[in-house]
Amino acid sequence: MKFVHMADMHFDIPFTVLNNRNKLGEKRRLEQREAFKKIIEYIKENNIEYFFIAGDLYENEYIRKSTVEYINNLFKEIPNTKIYITPGNHDPYINGSMYKTIKWSENVKIFNSQIETIENDDCNIYGFGFNNFYCRTSDIQDIVLNNKEKLNILITHGTLNGGTIEDMEYNPLNKNKLKQIGFDYIALGHIHKSSYNDEENQRIVYPGSPISMGFDELGKHGVIVGELTKEKINLEFLPIDKREFKEEEINISNINNIEELIEKINDLKLEENIFYKLILIGDKNFEININNLFKYINNENIIKIKNNTKLKINLEELSKEKNLKGLFIKEILEELRKNNYDKNTLENILEIGLEILDKK
């Protein structure tokens, strides 16, 4: 059997960070639609039999009916493909949700919080979906397969081997227990980074999000394309997102003023389909105001700038001065030696304080 496994599209997510920079959020939402259409076209062209969507197809809080109609119309273009959706924590199967209020295409099956088995000629599909924004427990790990001679597939949204309290809020699952059940493939969602080749013959898979949501999701994004038999599994990653989010460091130690920094940023050779986060590093010789800096940057693909620079000053020498600045630096250095406070917090206090004192 051939399938496409997708999760975490998050249709109609606001893209707040992008909206802060020239209203790029709307552009990104259009790219979501393009990416999804690309997936449907791939399914159509390659006669894919099954399409697994493991949760967070859309954002319950922001989803528009017109967006769901767009999705549903694309589903209708692949009538011979069986589509299985397991709602996640961002699109739970709750009263008033689009899963309940829209008449979905006949080839779509939407699971809820009651584990259900769909028997096909070549495989059995087990599905579990969220019925709330949190799911602290499910009966997934108690499943007993009806027919181990057939291909058995589980589709759900959840956290595999999570180690934090937050992880326990989103359908916590144990990898070893899932393996013991005997599924031939487990299609997961929730984690936006793909995991499909971390071990030999891997059958518990996260495809990652089809498009990146921000700078905590660097690299390429897409879906998993699979071919499965009882004896063999073949998985490939299909890139879908035409953009990437990247981080670039700029060392400003040899830059003497804000004008030189602006010129250096505007002279960067940046790729057109990349959203960039610039990280300023090194010793700074001048004051940097990130908000003011953005006013003079020409490239709209520079979305964020983070200031990780340090003041280029000899604190020990300045602390010996018999003035307010010297006393202030001396106090900060003493606190740093005592380790009474977080180092980064004290360094930020020092930098802000020195900027204020220099203006007096």
245: pLDDT confidence band, cut at 50, 70 and 90? very high
Residue 253 · residue 312 · CB < 8 Å: yes
Question: Which tens digit of pLDDT belongs to each residue from 257-274?
Answer: 999 999 999 999 999 899
Same domain, 33 and 155: yes
pLDDT band at 358 (very low <50, low <70, confident <90, very high): low
> pLDDT tier at 285 (50, 70, 90 boundaries)?
confident
- pLDDT tens-digit map of 15-42: 877 876 667 888 899 999 999 999 999 9
Question: What was the pLDDT predicted at 22?
Answer: 66
Distances (CA, A) of 68 to 14, 31, 191, 266: 16, 15, 23, 40
Q: Which residues contact 329 (CB under 8 A, 6 or more apart)?
A: 315, 318, 319, 350, 354
Model pLDDT for residues 89-106, shown as the tens digit of each residue: 999 999 999 999 999 999
Q: What is the pLDDT at residue 349?
A: 76
Are residues 328 and 289 both part of a single domain? yes
Same domain, 275 and 167: no
Q: Are residues 333 and 187 in the same domain?
A: no
Q: How confident is the model at residue 360 (pLDDT cuts 50, 70, 90)?
A: low
Last residue of a domain, one of 204, 239, 274: 239
Q: What is the DSSP string of 96-149?
A: T-HHHHS---TTEEE--SS-EEEE-SSEEEEEE--SSS-B---SGGG---S-TT
What is the count of structural domains for the chain? 2
Q: Quick one: 262 and 328 in the same domain? A: yes
Quote the CA–CA distance of 282 and 238 in Å, as a whole number.
Answer: 38
Q: Given this model, what pLDDT does residue 331 score?
A: 84
Please compute the mean of the pLDDT values over residues 223-246 and round it to a whole number.
95
pLDDT of residue 177: 95
Domain coverage including residue 141: 2-239
Identify the domain boundary among 209, 239, 269: 239
Residue 337 CB-density burial (10 A; 0-12 exposed, 13-18 middle, 19+ buried): exposed
HEC letters along 42-100: HHHHCCCCEEEECCCCECCCCCCHHHHHHHHHHHHCCCCCEEEECCCCCCCCCCCCHHH
Does the pLDDT value for residue 346 go beyond 80?
no
Mean local confidence (pLDDT), 243-266: 94
Examine the domain organization and report whether 163 and 289 are in the same domain.
no
Question: How far apart (Å, rounded) are the C-alpha atoms in residues 321 and 296?
Answer: 37
- 173 in the same domain as 104: yes
Average pLDDT over the chain, rounded to an integer? 92
- Examine the domain organization and report whether 98 and 128 are in the same domain: yes
* pLDDT for res 323: 84
How far apart are alpha carbons 248 and 276 in whole angstroms?
7
pLDDT band at 291 (very low <50, low <70, confident <90, very high): confident
Under the banding of pLDDT at 50, 70 and 90, the label for residue 236 is: very high
Same domain, 294 and 231: no
**26 vs 360: which has the higher pLDDT:** 26
Phi, psi torsion values for 173, nearest 5 degrees: -130, 145
Q: Model confidence at 355, in pLDDT bands (50, 70, 90)?
A: low
Tell me the CATH number at 76.
3.60.21.10
Report the pLDDT value the prediction gives residue 317, as an integer from 0 to 100.
Answer: 78
The predicted structure's pLDDT at residue 359: 59
Contact 87, 116 (CB under 8 A): no
pLDDT in tens, 4-16: 999 999 999 998 7
Show which of 183, 205, 239 is a domain's final residue.
Answer: 239
The answer to whether residues 136 and 256 belong to one domain is no
Q: What is the largest CA-CA distance in the chain?
A: 87
pTM: 0.85
Q: Are residues 206 and 328 in the same domain?
A: no
- If asked whether residues 230 and 283 sit together in one domain, one would say no
